[in-house]
Amino acid sequence: MSRPLSNVDPALRRCWHPVARPAEVTAQPRRFLLLGEPWVLYRADGGIVAFADRCPHRHTPLSIGSCEAGVLQCAYHGWKFDSSGACVEIPALGNGAALPPAARLSPPAGLVEAHGMVFLAPEPPIAPLGPIPEADDPSFEAGELPTLAVRASVGLLADNFLDVAHFPFVHAGTFGADEAAEVPQYAVARDGWSFTTSYEHSFANREDPGVATGLRPLTQNRRLVYRLDAPFHLSLRIDFIEAGGTNVIGFFLQPESAERCRIFTTLWRDDLSGDPARMAEAVDFEVAVLREDLLVQEAFDELVLPLTPTAEVHTRADRTTLELRRVLSDLVRAAEGDAP
Cα dihedral value 182, 185, 190, 195, nearest 10:
-30
DSSP state of 145: P
What's residue 172's pLDDT? 85
**Residues facing 117 on adjacent strands:** 114
What percent helix, strand, coil does the chain show, rounded to 5? 25, 30, 45
What's residue 184's pLDDT? 80
User: Which of helix, strand or coil describes residue 216?
Assistant: coil
What pTM does this model have?
A: 0.93
What's residue 96's pLDDT? 85
Q: pLDDT tens per residue, the chain (340 residues)?
A: 568 999 999 999 999 999 999 999 999 999 999 999 999 999 999 999 999 999 999 999 999 999 999 999 999 999 999 999 999 999 999 988 899 999 999 999 999 999 999 999 999 999 999 999 999 999 999 999 999 999 999 999 999 999 988 988 998 888 776 655 778 888 899 999 999 999 887 877 877 888 989 999 988 888 999 999 999 999 999 999 998 889 999 999 999 999 999 999 999 999 998 999 999 999 999 999 999 999 999 999 999 999 998 999 999 999 999 999 999 999 999 999 865 5
Amino acid letter, residue 326: R
**Residues facing 38 on adjacent strands:** 33
Ordered by where they begin, the domains of the chain are 17-121 (2.102.10.10), 133-335 (3.90.380.10)
The C-alpha atoms of residue 195 and residue 105 are separated, in whole angstroms, by: 37
| Edge-to-edge strand ranges of the sheet holding 17-20 | 17-20, 117-121, 110-114
**Residue 231, preceding peptide bond in cis (omega within 30° of 0):** yes
What's residue 179's pLDDT? 56
Cβ atoms within 10 A of the Cβ of 241, count? Answer: 12
Smallest CA-to-CA distance from 257 within 101, 104, 105, 149 is with 149
Amino acid letter, residue 258: A
What's residue 340's pLDDT? 55
The C-alpha atoms of residue 283 and residue 109 are separated, in whole angstroms, by: 34
What's residue 338's pLDDT? 64
**HSE-up of residue 279 (Cα within 13 Å, Cβ side):** 17
